[in-house]
């Protein structure tokens, strides 16, 4: 991945955490991809799904990855700049700013469907209103705060793109993969975990009510901030006081984030640092709310319980 894109995406993630954009999506979408017709998007906005979906605009890397997995890469007519790095994206697609897309440009693409996240913030206003007013179905999919929500997001995307069978297959794969980790870890003692998503001195992490907290628990860990809700700024004093057994980081704007944590003078007495239990977790699979969370769960399980889950 090109480093400028990593840096830009890391900055946007930090903004999302600050603004609380990892919000709950409505639980309106059923677990069965073949269920009732879609009448609202994942933000609760009324929609009329297109009769045929041949041309798709994707304004979120999490959404783009799912569209690729559904076999729809060839129908993409524009993606956001952070999606452009994914394998399978057609060459020479228009690349747009997900925070402030060029509505006039998007209007020229003759799309049937445009999918965006909370970072684009579609609520019927500009610039995506140009698309909606022209007859394009514009659907918002805010980043879900739970694994169940992630599955429902996938079901929604599969339903609106008429790829229900493939969507059900991907959901089943995610569920079976999670069960495999849970079965392997079993009743093993849970190690305490601090997961750093932005580095000191402006450190960020998360607590309960987030899909990343659920991921730690599945992998056989216990989040040291599970007594606090949501995405949060943390101090080194808090981390020291809670003394984690293991530290994870998915920071990508530092060249060596694990070494940076291991070298922090203030953390030398923390158990994780003293015992060298600091690990990098893949950034995209741990930060994007889609089916790739399974990759991050497996990586964390391998770090927490290598004797029970040796796979990375």
Q: Which pLDDT value is given to residue 220?
A: 97
Residue 13, number of CB atoms within 10 A of its CB = 26
CA atoms of 252 and 245, how far apart (whole Å) = 22
Q: How far apart are CA 119 and CA 100, in angstroms?
A: 9
What is the rounded average pLDDT of the residues 131-157?
Answer: 94
More confident residue, 171 or 120: 171
Lowest mean pLDDT among 64-73, 115-124, 162-171: 115-124
- Largest interatomic CA distance in the chain: 61
Residue 131, pLDDT > 80, answer yes
Both structure tokens of 109: 């693409």
- pLDDT band at residue 37 under the 50/70/90 scheme: low
Domains of the chain: 3-13+27-171 (3.40.50.1980), 188-304 (3.40.50.1980)
Which of 12-16, 118-122, 125-129, 284-288 has the highest average model confidence (pLDDT)? 284-288
Tell me the pTM.
0.87
Distance CA 147, CA 76 (A): 26
Return the beta strands (E) in the chain as ranges.
Answer: 56-59, 76-80, 95-96, 113-116, 137-140, 191-196, 204-206, 221-223, 231-233, 246-249, 278-280
Beta strands 231-233 and 204-206, pairing class: antiparallel
pLDDT confidence of residue 32:
47
Per-chain mean pLDDT for the chain: 88
Residue 237 has pLDDT above 60, yes or no: yes
Contact 181, 173 (CB under 8 A): no
């Amino acid at each position: 991945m090109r480093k400028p894109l990593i840096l830009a995406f890391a900055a946007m993630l930090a903004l999302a955490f600050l603004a609380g954009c990892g919000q709950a999506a409505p639980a309106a979408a059923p677990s069965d991809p073949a269920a009732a017709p879609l009448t609202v998007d994942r933000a609760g906005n009324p929609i009329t799904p297109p009769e045929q979906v041949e041309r798709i605009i994707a304004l979120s890397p999490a959404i783009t990855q799912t569209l690729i997995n559904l076999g729809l890469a060839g129908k993409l007519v524009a993606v956001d700049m952070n999606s452009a790095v994914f394998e399978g994206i057609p060459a020479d697609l228009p690349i747009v700013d997900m925070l402030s897309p060029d509505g006039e440009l998007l209007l020229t693409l003759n799309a049937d469907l445009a999918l965006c996240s909370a970072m684009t913030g579609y609520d019927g206003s500009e610039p995506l209103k140009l698309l909606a007013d022209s007859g394009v179905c514009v659907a918002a999919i805010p980043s879900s705060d739970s694994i169940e929500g992630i599955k429902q997001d996938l079901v929604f995307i599969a339903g609106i793109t008429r790829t229900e069978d493939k969507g059900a297959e991907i959901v089943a794969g995610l569920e079976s993969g999670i069960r495999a980790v849970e079965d392997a870890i079993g009743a093993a003692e849970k190690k305490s975990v601090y997961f750093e998503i932005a580095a000191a001195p402006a450190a960020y992490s998360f607590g309960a009510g987030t899909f990343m907290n659920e991921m730690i628990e599945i992998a056989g860990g216990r989040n040291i901030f599970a007594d606090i809700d949501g995405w949060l700024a943390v101090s080194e004093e808090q981390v020291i006081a809670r003394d984690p057994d293991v530290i994870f980081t998915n920071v990508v704007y530092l060249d060596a984030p694990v070494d940076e944590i291991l070298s922090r003078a203030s953390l030398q007495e923390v158990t994780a640092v003293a015992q060298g239990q600091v690990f990098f977790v893949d950034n995209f699979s741990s930060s994007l709310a889609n089916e790739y969370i399974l990759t991050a769960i497996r990586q964390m399980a391998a770090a927490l319980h290598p004797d029970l889950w040796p796979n990375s």
